[in-house]
């Protein structure tokens, strides 16, 4: 049995291609069922916004080409030649370990992929498309990913400027119980609103040049209130925290227009800047200059942590590959033991006819015959199990098949 991978991900395909090669739930089921017919005995489909990939075990080399052909048939009319990739053996297993640990993700070290791998495996298991080999590889990949997550805490080094900014506000000013005001309605503003709520802001208000955009945000955050863009300075005077994240080509908060009021903190997430730097003279002001420096530091730290994660993967990989190598000779060992049982049965029947044995002596005779033959086979079996080389395993198995006249698999 050989482990294989085939698929497309964000590293080798643009978003247009990724949109076209997504597996719906129905398509996953069809693929898994057809894969079984094609001789791909164990299979898992992992489909996310950034990857469309298949991991499988197959007994024959030709099944790899069958897997690629089946994959291509799922997306007729899509040109996949330049972006489809495949791996086999240890390389494919190593890749699955890295994917599960978030090391192949667009945001390296993210946690979401771990749950997506588990969901993909659960579907395959429910449809009866897994076996002991795939169960083992996925289980070890998940276990290793959890260990990396728990021990290294890679995802706790945030790379989102919005998150870094809100966390910095929490550290230097405090958010819980504060009134917050957000200017802007794009993705950055939406993330800022989400994190403000998570940190316990006591009410969040938003304003946007386009009122409809503000209302769309209100649909996502039901407790959100809306202010008119023209009234932003009045709202600023009543707020503790002001976050600005617009796409305006000019500054939207001027120093001279700020009204005297409560002590406040300003977070500027825009480029070019939304808030005049002079605001920092009378209030806490955080902008992209300081936040990007933190993000870069976090990236470097994540990189170092991921190097440690790769070392942890290598250790787990060696153990998994060793286990798979040992299972590759299971059928030969089972055939040897069956051959042993046949010889014991023949010898016992002959001796039982020639000797007048009582029932107790018959049991003893059968046990001695079986133990003697198993003892003879013990060393060859141990040698077979402990051989890491696939080529040497194949040689040993061929030799044992010939020497003991073992029945070949149909």
Q: Distance of CA 320 to CAs 129, 263, 316, 325, 357, Å?
A: 20, 58, 6, 9, 49
Q: What are the φ/ψ torsions at residue 182 (nearest 5 degrees)?
A: -115, 130
Could you give the count of Cα atoms lying within 13 Å of 320 in the half-sphere of its Cβ?
28
Q: Is 43 a catalytic residue?
A: no
Per-residue three-class SS string for the chain? CEEEEEEEECCCCCHHHHHHCCCCHHHHHHHHHHHHHCCCCEEEEEEECCEEEEEEEECCCHHHHHHHHHHHHCCCCCCCCCCCEEEECHHHHHHHHHHHCCCCCCCCCCCHHHHHHHHHHHHHHHCCCCCHHHHHHHHHHHHHHHHHHHHHCHHHCCCCHHHHHHHHHHHHCCCCCCCEEEECCCHHHHHHHHHHHHCCCCCEEEECCCHHHHHHHHHHCCCCEECCHHHHHHHHHCCCEEEECCCCCCCCECHHHCCCCCCCEEEECCCCCCECHHHHHCCEEECHHHHHHHHHHHHHHHHHHHHHHHHHHHHHHHHHHHHHHHHCCHHHHHHHHHHHHHHHHHHHHHHHHHCCCCHHHHHHHHHHHHHHHHHHHHHHHHHHHCCCCHHHHHHHHHHHHHHCCCCCCC
Of 43, 49, 74, 205, the catalytic one is 49
Which pairing describes strands 180-183 and 85-88: parallel, antiparallel, or unpaired? unpaired
Q: Distance of CA 66 to CAs 6, 35, 69, 72, Å?
A: 11, 8, 5, 10
Tally of CB atoms within 10 A around 256: 6
First to last CA, the chain: 15
The residues carrying an active-site annotation are 49
């Amino acid at each position: 049995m050989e482990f294989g991978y085939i698929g497309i991900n964000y590293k080798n395909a643009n978003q247009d291609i990724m949109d076209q090669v997504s597996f719906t739930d129905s398509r996953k089921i069809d693929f898994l069922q057809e894969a079984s017919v094609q001789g791909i005995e164990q299979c898992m489909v992992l489909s996310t916004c950034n990857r469309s990939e298949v991991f499988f075990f197959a007994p024959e080399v030709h099944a790899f080409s069958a897997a690629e052909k089946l994959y291509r048939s799922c997306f007729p009319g899509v040109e996949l030649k330049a972006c489809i990739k495949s791996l086999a053996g240890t390389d494919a297993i190593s890749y699955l370990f890295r994917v599960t640990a978030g090391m192949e993700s667009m945001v390296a070290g993210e946690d979401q992929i771990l749950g997506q791998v588990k969901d993909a495996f659960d579907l395959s298991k429910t449809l009866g498309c897994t076996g002991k080999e795939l169960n083992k590889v996925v289980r070890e990949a998940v276990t290793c990913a959890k260990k990396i997550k728990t021990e290294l805490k890679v995802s706790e080094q945030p790379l989102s400027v919005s998150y870094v900014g809100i966390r910095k506000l929490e550290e230097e000013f405090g958010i819980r119980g504060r009134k917050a005001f957000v200017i802007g309605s794009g993705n950055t503003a939406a993330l800022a609103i989400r994190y403000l709520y998570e940190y316990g802001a006591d009410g969040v208000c938003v304003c946007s040049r386009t009122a409809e955009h503000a209302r769309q945000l209100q649909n996502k955050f039901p407790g959100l209130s809306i202010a008119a863009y023209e009234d932003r300075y009045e709202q600023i005077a009543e707020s503790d925290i002001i976050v600005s994240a617009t796409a305006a080509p000019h500054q939207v908060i001027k120093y001279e227009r700020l009204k005297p009021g409560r002590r406040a903190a300003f977070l500027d997430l825009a480029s070019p800047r939304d808030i005049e730097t002079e605001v920092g003279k009378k209030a806490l002001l955080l902008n992209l200059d300081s936040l990007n420096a933190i993000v870069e530091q976090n990236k470097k730290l994540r990189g170092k942590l991921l190097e440690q994660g790769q070392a942890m993967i290598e250790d787990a990989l060696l153990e998994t590959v060793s286990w798979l190598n040992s299972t590759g000779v299971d059928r030969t060992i089972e055939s040897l033991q069956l051959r042993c049982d046949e010889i014991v049965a023949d010898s016992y029947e002959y001796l039982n006819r020639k000797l007048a044995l009582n029932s107790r002596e018959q049991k003893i005779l059968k046990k001695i015959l079986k133990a003697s033959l198993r003892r003879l086979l013990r060393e060859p079996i141990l040698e077979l199990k402990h051989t890491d080389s696939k080529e040497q395993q194949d040689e040993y198995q061929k030799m044992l098949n010939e020497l003991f006249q073992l029945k070949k698999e149909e």
